[in-house]
């Protein structure tokens, strides 16, 4: 079974650097769709890891711990990307004088 192991330190650092770079790019260009791309990618990774964990055969039982940590990290990256998406969408909406997707975190963005 092939598992995209994001618990590896090098892979984790590369994903974190890519996420930070995409947040910075989205902030500079004021385009929220840039952050929607990694959000959907991490959602696809989450679905893949959950499917692999559900269909784990007994000979690969030793991988259940790795897959569980991959799922936890997928959720963490989804949370980071979702908050970043909402933040950049708010900046994009203010720049173009249009309504944001969600204004419920407006109190939080004033502090950032």
Question: Quick one: pLDDT band at residue 60, thresholds 50, 70, 90?
Answer: confident
Residue-wise burial string across 78-107, b where 16 or more C-beta atoms lie within 10 A, e elsewhere: bebbeebbbbbbbbbbeeeeeebeeeeeee
pTM score: 0.82
Domain boundaries, the chain: 9-67
Residue 99, pLDDT > 90, answer no
Enumerate residues 6+ apart whose C-beta is below 8 A from 77. Answer: 15, 19, 38, 42
Q: What average pLDDT score do residues 45-68 get?
A: 92
Residue 72, pLDDT > 90, answer yes
- The DSSP 8-state label assigned to residue 101 in this structure reads S
**100, 89 in Cβ contact below 8 A?**
yes
Q: What average pLDDT score do residues 25-45 get?
A: 91
């Amino acid at each position: 079974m092939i598992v995209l192991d994001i618990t590896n330190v090098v892979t984790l650092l590369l994903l974190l650097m890519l996420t930070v770079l995409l947040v910075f790019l989205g902030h500079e260009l004021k385009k929220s769709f840039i952050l929607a791309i990694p959000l959907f990618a991490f959602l696809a990774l989450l679905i893949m890891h959950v499917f692999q964990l559900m269909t784990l055969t007994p000979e690969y039982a030793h991988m259940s711990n790795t897959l569980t940590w991959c799922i936890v990290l997928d959720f963490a990256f989804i949370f980071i990307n979702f908050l970043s998406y909402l933040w950049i969408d708010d900046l994009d909406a203010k720049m173009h004088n249009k309504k944001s997707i969600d204004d419920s975190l407006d109190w939080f963005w004033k502090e950032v």
